[in-house]
């Protein structure tokens, strides 16, 4: 608008507008207030949508946590494989992320198998001959049956002793390891580099 | 012509086509100073212009014998009319008065004006104003607002605002002399020949507004209006004073800062277009 200088101190009587309406500052405040309200409303709506999404994610995650537990409970029972109860847990919580019952049972078996693994015996495998001057370089176990040990010995007799100790390792009910083989023995400047392979005896009996 | 297209008898159609009305509505208003001697056109007001901003040219104001004559020469233009102090009465309202809104203030002012000026005051157009908490009412007594509006309509010019000159002059003086707003006590004299509108300010707040008459339109008489020396800042602007003789001594008393010459037939300017566009300050 074209006009004279406007100062808050200078009055502006106008005979065409005898009564002064709300000032420009009041309109500016009003507009600012409306803008703030609109921004707050949009923000609240976004926050509400976020909350809904988070709740959905939480529910889905809860389902994924609950489902394996139910399967493990089923796998632990004797005749749960094809019973009518095996489909109850997924049926109560329908979701596309739940795998078929067979896959879940297999997974549960794998978990149980891993839990039944004789980890103390596996860790003790390298300790049988460690006092005799062998420097162990590698310990390779795939979590099922096979074990491969790499080491460095000052003389050729020590690897044989270590293999013998492995064969003799028992957990009270018999030997832990079978087919213990000193598969490699080579001379290096530092001494004798060797490799021992073995199979876990108990794992062979467990269901695969 | 069918019955559907026939226009019913009603209010007359506007004299101008619609696009004329829009051109008038969008036109940059001219600043007109309306005094006893006619109309002075100060050119388009500075500010935002819709179609290609042209810097307002500052020149001598152009004199027209009357508002009607200006309108006939400027059809399609718009104007803001600034009224000389001779045409208005001023009333500064006591802040203690229990007046709720502008409607109540105008009614109260109408009663006061009727008491002092008789029944003629019942017809005067009034305008309420407020400045820094103080409120007042201006009354237009020497001119018919309806006549002014009718002349504008007839000539096809837009009448944007009708304001008393002292309010425009106060805004201009505050812009030119910011110390007026910061001083403990300041006085601005808006000179209209022998009529002076005296505005008293205290730290920017308007504390006094009255119209005073001079015995003679001279600087010496103007000096008598600031005989009390407690004002730290005194400014004067306006027109209609006699030029002092070349060898005249400066009048005694505290100095008055003159914002522009006070000797013309009309005010020297109605606005200052830019900060650097300061007037030559005399005295």
Which of B170, B176, B202, B233 best probes binding to A when mutated, by most A CB atoms within 10 angstroms?
A: B170
Find the closest chain B residue to A6 by CA distance.
Answer: B171
A59-63, A85-89, B95-99, B121-125, range with the lowest pLDDT = A85-89
Give per-residue pLDDT as tens, B12-54: 555 556 777 788 888 888 888 998 888 988 888 776 555 544 5
User: Domain spans of chain B?
Assistant: 165-282
Q: Could you tell me if A8 lies within 8 Å of chain B, comparing CB atoms?
A: yes
Better pLDDT: B72 or A22: B72
Q: What is the CATH number of domain A119-205?
A: 3.30.1360.100
Residue A12 to residue B271, Cβ atoms within 8 A? no
Mean pLDDT of B189-202: 90
| Residues B8, B75: Cα–Cα separation, whole Å | 30
Specify the pLDDT at position B203. Answer: 86
Chain A residues with CB under 8 Å of B158 CB are none
Cβ–Cβ under 8 Å, residues B237 and B173: yes
Specify the pLDDT at position B1. Answer: 40
The tokens describing B66, both together, are 């009357």
State what percent of residues in chain A have pLDDT above 70. Answer: 74
Q: Flag whether pLDDT at B224 surpasses 70.
A: yes
Specify the pLDDT at position B196. Answer: 92
User: Given B106, B167, B201, which is nearest A19 (Cβ)?
Assistant: B106
User: Given B48, B129, B167, which is nearest A2 (Cβ)?
Assistant: B48
Work out the minimum CA distance from B77 to partner chain A, whole angstroms: 13
Q: Which of B212, B279, B224, B280 has its CA nearest to residue B256? A: B224
Q: What is the mean pLDDT of chain B?
A: 80
Which string of b and e fits B223-254 if b means at least 16 CB within 10 Å? bebbeeeebebbbbbbbbbeeeeeeeeebeee
Specify the pLDDT at position A172. Answer: 66
Residue B272 to residue A5, Cβ atoms within 8 A? yes
3-state helix, strand, coil in chain B (%, to 5): 25, 30, 45
Chain B residues with CB under 8 Å of A9 CB are 131-132, 170, 174, 181, 201, 204-206
Q: Could you tell me if A65 lies within 8 Å of chain B, comparing CB atoms?
A: no
Better pLDDT: A35 or A170: A35
Chain A residues with CB under 8 Å of B80 CB are 3-4
The tokens describing B158, both together, are 């837009």
Specify the pLDDT at position A130. Answer: 60
Specify the pLDDT at position A22. Answer: 73
Residue B80 to residue A1, Cβ atoms within 8 A? no
A194-203, B91-100, B272-281, range with the lowest pLDDT = B272-281
Cβ–Cβ under 8 Å, residues B132 and A8: yes
Q: Could you tell me if A22 lies within 8 Å of chain B, comparing CB atoms?
A: no
Residue B145 to residue A11, Cβ atoms within 8 A? no
User: Given B171, B201, B206, which is nearest A4 (Cβ)?
Assistant: B171
A99-108, B200-209, B246-255, range with the lowest pLDDT = B246-255
Chain A residues with CB under 8 Å of B145 CB are 15-16
Mean pLDDT of B220-248: 77
Q: Flag whether pLDDT at A149 surpasses 70.
A: yes
Q: Could you tell me if A88 lies within 8 Å of chain B, comparing CB atoms?
A: no
Q: Flag whether pLDDT at A53 surpasses 90.
A: yes
| Residues A87, A73: Cα–Cα separation, whole Å | 13
Work out the minimum CA distance from A35 to partner chain B, whole angstroms: 25
Query: Rounded to two decimals, what is the model's pTM?
Result: 0.57
Residue A10 to residue B162, Cβ atoms within 8 A? no
Specify the pLDDT at position B57. Answer: 54
Q: Which of B185, B242, B9, B191 has its CA nearest to residue B85? A: B191
Give per-residue pLDDT as tens, B86-123: 999 999 998 888 888 888 999 999 999 999 998 988 99
Give per-residue pLDDT as tens, B154-180: 888 888 889 999 998 988 888 888 888
Q: Flag whether pLDDT at A81 surpasses 80.
A: no
User: Given B130, B162, B170, which is nearest A20 (Cβ)?
Assistant: B130
Reported as a pLDDT band with limits 50, 70 and 90, residue A98 is low
Residue A15 to residue B159, Cβ atoms within 8 A? no
Q: Flag whether pLDDT at B279 surpasses 60.
A: no
The tokens describing A45, both together, are 């709506």
> Which strand (E) or helix (H) includes residue B279?
none
User: Domain spans of chain A?
Assistant: 29-115, 119-205
Q: Could you tell me if A10 lies within 8 Å of chain B, comparing CB atoms?
A: yes
Q: Flag whether pLDDT at B255 surpasses 70.
A: yes
Mean pLDDT of B56-75: 81
Chain B residues with CB under 8 Å of A25 CB are none
Q: Is the ipTM of this complex over 0.85?
A: no
Q: What is the mean pLDDT of chain A?
A: 78
């Amino acid at each position: 608008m074209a006009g004279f200088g406007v100062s808050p101190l200078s009055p502006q009587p106008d005979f065409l507008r005898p009564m002064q309406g709300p000032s420009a500052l009041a309109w500016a405040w009003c507009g600012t207030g409306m803008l703030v309200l609109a921004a707050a409303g949009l923000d609240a709506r976004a926050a509400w949508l976020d909350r809904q999404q988070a709740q959905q994610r939480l529910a889905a995650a809860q389902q994924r946590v609950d489902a394996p537990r139910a399967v493990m409970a089923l796998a632990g029972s004797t005749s749960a494989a094809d019973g009518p109860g095996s489909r109850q847990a997924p049926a109560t919580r329908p979701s596309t992320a739940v795998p078929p019952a067979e896959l879940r049972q297999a997974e549960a078996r794998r978990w149980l198998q891993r839990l039944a693994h004789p980890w103390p015996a596996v860790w003790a495998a390298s300790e049988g001959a460690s006092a005799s001057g062998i420097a162990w370089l590698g310990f390779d176990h795939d979590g099922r049956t096979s074990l491969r040990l790499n080491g460095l010995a000052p003389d050729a007799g020590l690897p044989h002793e270590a293999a013998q100790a492995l064969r003799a390792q028992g957990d009270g009910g018999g030997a832990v390891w079978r087919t213990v083989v000193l598969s490699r023995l080579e001379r290096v400047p530092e001494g004798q580099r060797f490799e021992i392979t073995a199979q876990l005896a108990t794992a062979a009996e467990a269901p695969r | 012509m069918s019955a559907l297209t026939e226009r019913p008898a009603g209010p007359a159609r506007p004299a101008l086509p619609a696009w004329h009305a829009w051109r008038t509505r969008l036109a940059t208003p001219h600043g007109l100073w309306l005094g006893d001697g006619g109309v002075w056109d100060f050119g388009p007001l500075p500010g935002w212009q819709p179609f290609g901003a042209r810097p307002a040219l500052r020149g001598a104001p152009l004199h027209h014998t009357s508002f009607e004559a200006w309108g006939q020469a400027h059809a399609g233009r718009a104007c803001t009319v600034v009224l000389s102090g001779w045409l208005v009465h001023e009333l500064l309202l006591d802040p203690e008065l229990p007046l709720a809104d502008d409607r109540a203030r105008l009614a109260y002012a109408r009663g006061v004006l009727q008491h002092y000026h008789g029944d003629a005051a019942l017809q005067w157009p009034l305008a309420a104003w407020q400045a820094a908490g103080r409120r007042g009412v201006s009354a237009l007594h020497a001119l018919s607002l309806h006549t002014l509006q009718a002349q504008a309509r007839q000539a096809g010019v837009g009448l944007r605002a009708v304001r008393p000159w002292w309010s425009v002059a106060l805004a201009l003086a505050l812009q030119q002399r910011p110390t007026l707003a910061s001083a403990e006590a300041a006085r601005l004299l808006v000179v209209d020949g022998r009529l002076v509108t005296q505005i008293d300010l205290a730290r920017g707040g308007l504390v006094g507004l009255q119209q005073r008459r001079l015995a003679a339109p001279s600087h010496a008489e103007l000096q008598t209006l600031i005989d009390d020396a407690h004002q730290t800042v005194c400014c004067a602007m306006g027109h209609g004073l006699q030029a002092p003789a070349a060898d005249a001594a400066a009048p005694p008393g505290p100095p008055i800062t003159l914002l522009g010459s006070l000797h013309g037939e009309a005010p020297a300017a109605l606005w200052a277009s830019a900060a650097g566009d300061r007037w030559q300050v005399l005295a």
